[in-house]
A and B are shown apart, each in its own frame.
Chain A
Amino acid sequence: MNNFGYARATDVADAVRQITADPEAKFIAGGTNIIDLIKEHVARPSRLIDITHLPLNRVEETEDGGLRIGALVPNSDLAWHPQVEARYPLLASAILAGASQQLRNMATTGGNLLQRTRCFYFYDTSTPCNKREPGSGCSAIGGINRMHAILGTSEHCIATHPSDMCVALAALDARVLATGPAGERSIALTDFHRLPGDTPQIDSNLRADEIITAIELPPKGFPRTYTYLKIRDRLSYAFALVSVAVGLEIEGGTIREARLALGGVAHKPWRDREAEAELNGTPATRESFARGADTVLRSARGFGHNDFKVELARRAIVRALTQAAEGKPQSQADKRVSGSVP
């Protein structure tokens, strides 16, 4: 591994001070991604600022009846937190769909948001990559791009955001709390990650001198009519080809509110409010679901190896909406597909 310095942050203000003083430094918490990136020579921090001693490991109710999740809460603790299991099972399910139990024990809530793409060209320092080395080109366009994005891509980058947790957070209208030199601010999860555009090296709108302190969930969690459907090359411990998070509110067979977010298809968790608006007020039937899926994918395009993702995403959306409407969420342990065939 490249050598680096190491320091501990004593509180949030100290963490912000330390990162402001050394722009080449990086925070470390779970370390599951940054250590790997350092080993691969993709990240070369001057030093790592250990934030694991900060008091950001609590899950507590907010005044409005929602939930505030400290940035350092490990993924496994969050997935198995009684409040999350009971009120936000979509979030619990999405977390358990990702990584392995060892990694979930280490990885934190804040770190999950900041993990970097698993595009193999990004990891391979012998190939051009605009995300790793701006201006060098994109090897995935015209290269092996089976895992890559079909929505919101640019001529500079077709990488995907790898998180499952964030897809559920996007559907649940979560907000990210961040603290910087100017104080605290709150960012909608759907505005947190960026599309690649012509600056694919910048993954999120978190500023370099800010630290994530918490995630906030609003009260509405869709605890009965939800699903997280993840489709991948092996049944566990693999990144999504396509994943779909759904939360529905149905009254007398009519969709009152639809939430729909996709993973594995874009540079950020993909939420389409136009498709949701179209679903709202329609009967909870296959026809409505198919129309919603068409809307989500209206601008989708493949790059060769990943052409199949467009049709896969279409079917996954219909399947996931069916599972949620029937109250038969996909189990992450029992790999048989839940619900009736749409």
Chain B
Amino acid sequence: MAVTLRVNGVEHKLTVAPWTTLLDLLRLHLDLTGTKKGCDHGQCGACTVLVDGRRINSCLTLAVMKDGAQVTTIEGLARGDALHPLQQAFIDHDAFQCGYCTPGQICSAVGLIAEGKARTADEIRDMMSGNICRCGAYPHIVAAIEEVMGKLKQPSGKGAP
């Protein structure tokens, strides 16, 4: 079936089988292998991408159902050589060890900040619980997200981003 997707700002017209997941489309058809296939059952969050600005599990999403959608993956966050603030914060805070969950963690955190609901560390932890890190880098992941949220808050000095 024909499907048109705008991935990281670039339009792609593809022909895929109905059972092709968005995850497989990204990795196999577009060679965007930053998005990881962890459990493939929506339990680990490694496949998290942003569809029309919202974080979702791409392993449980059929590509044909997202015809016309805007998809952002980990490859689409940096601006040239300038890393996205969350990418930089993950490096600064040593927020990963093996790195396998990291693309999903960062895309999920982008979604979390856009939602503007989580404010405290408790809320970040709960709202990031769909992203499992088997290396156990959780405290550093929370610290990285808190730092970026804090920086976004500073210009007005109050409220959430």
Contacts and interface: CB of A to CB of B under 8 A. Distances in A.
A244 B21 CA distance: 36
Interface string B106-123: 001001100101101011
B57 interface: yes
B125 interface: yes
A271 B41 CA distance: 31
A103 B57 contact: yes
B126 interface: yes
A105 B45 CA distance: 13
Interface in B93-144: 108, 111-112, 115, 117-118, 120, 122-123, 125-131
A168 to B, nearest CB: 18
Nearest to B125: A236
Contacts of B61: 31, 35, 106
B45 to A, nearest CB: 6
Nearest to A6: B18
B30 interface: no
A341 B115 CA distance: 35
Given A237-B130, A332-B126, A334-B122, A48 B60 contact: no
B129 A103 contact: no
Interface in A148-205: none
Interface in A11-57: 28, 31-32, 35-36, 38-39, 47-48, 50, 52
A2 interface: yes
A31 B62 contact: yes
Contacts of A1: 19, 21
Interface residues of B, number: 35
A36 B127 CA distance: 22
A99 interface: yes
A299 interface: no
B41 A39 contact: yes
A333 B111 contact: no
> Number of contact residues on A: which range applies?
20 to 34
Given A236-B125, A333-B120, A105 B56 contact: yes
Contact of A52 (B1, B60, B65): B65
Contacts of A332: 126
Given A3-B19, A4-B19, A332-B126, A102 B65 contact: no
Contact of A28 (B21, B65, B122, B129): B65
Interface string B34-57: 000000111001001000001111
A303 interface: no
A185 to B, nearest CB: 28
A80 B54 CA distance: 14
B17 interface: yes
- Give the residue among B42, B55, B115, B122 with the most A Cβ atoms within 10 A: B42
Contacts of A32: 42, 57, 60
A237 B129 contact: yes
B62 A102 contact: no
A136 interface: no
B130 A39 contact: no
Given A105-B56, A106-B57, A48 B126 contact: no
B126 A50 contact: no
B64 interface: yes
Given A105-B54, A105-B56, A333-B126, A5 B18 contact: yes
B113 to A, nearest CB: 12
Given A106-B60, A236-B129, A333-B126, 18 more contacts: A4-B18, A32-B60, A39-B40, A50-B64, A52-B65, A100-B45, A100-B129, A101-B55, A101-B112, A101-B130, A102-B48, A105-B54, A235-B126, A333-B122, A333-B125, A334-B120, A334-B122, A335-B126
Interface of A: 1-6, 28, 31-32, 35-36, 38-39, 47-48, 50, 52, 76, 80, 99-103, 105-106, 235-237, 332-335
| 5 interchain residue pairs of minimum CB distance | A100-B130, A6-B18, A236-B129, A237-B129, A333-B123
Interface of B: 1, 17-19, 21, 40-42, 45, 48, 54-57, 60-62, 64-65, 108, 111-112, 115, 117-118, 120, 122-123, 125-131
12 contacts: A3-B17, A4-B18, A4-B19, A6-B18, A36-B41, A52-B65, A76-B115, A100-B129, A100-B131, A101-B112, A101-B128, A237-B130
